Homo-oligomer: A and B are copies of this chain.
């Protein structure tokens, strides 16, 4: 019973492929919500450009937005990252020589 996770993984990895979007997620790392303009402030690009990045992130399910009055609060939604990580874990054996305990433990518990 394997979930059909193709398109979701596509969107997740694609969303994470952009440095601006990763920076946006990093701003949300504290777990506290932030407004769109607050998120946009550190960047040199226009507000609409940031909005598009937020669209990509929420299409990928990585960010949720709630409007309260005129401000929109963004929050991180890490669920899709879990799938991405599980995809990567399958290849861990290939770098585990240079890796620490993590690989060993996963391997150990895997079977």
Residues of A within 8 A of B (CB): 6, 9-10, 13-14, 16-19, 22, 25, 29, 31, 76-79, 81-82, 84-92, 94-95, 98-99, 101-102, 105-106, 108-109
Contact assessment for A102 and B95 in the assembled complex, using a CB-CB cutoff below 8 Å: no
Q: Answer whether A87 and B14 are a contact pair too, CB < 8 Å, given A82-B99, A95-B81.
A: no
CB pair A91–B9 under 8 Å, yes or no, is: no
Partner of A95, one of B17, B31, B79, B91: B79
Q: How far is the CB of A38 from chain B (nearest CB, A)?
A: 19
Which residue of chain B has the shortest Cβ distance to A88 in the bound complex?
Answer: B85
A91 with B76: CB separation less than 8 A: yes
Known: A78-B94, A85-B88, A88-B88. 5 other contacts (CB 8 A): A10-B19, A22-B87, A79-B95, A82-B99, A85-B89
Measured CA separation A89–B14 after assembly (Å) = 18
Nearest-Cβ distance from residue A68 to partner chain B, whole angstroms: 22
Contact of A109 among B9, B29, B81, B102 (CB under 8 A): B102
CB distance from A10 to the nearest CB of B (A): 6
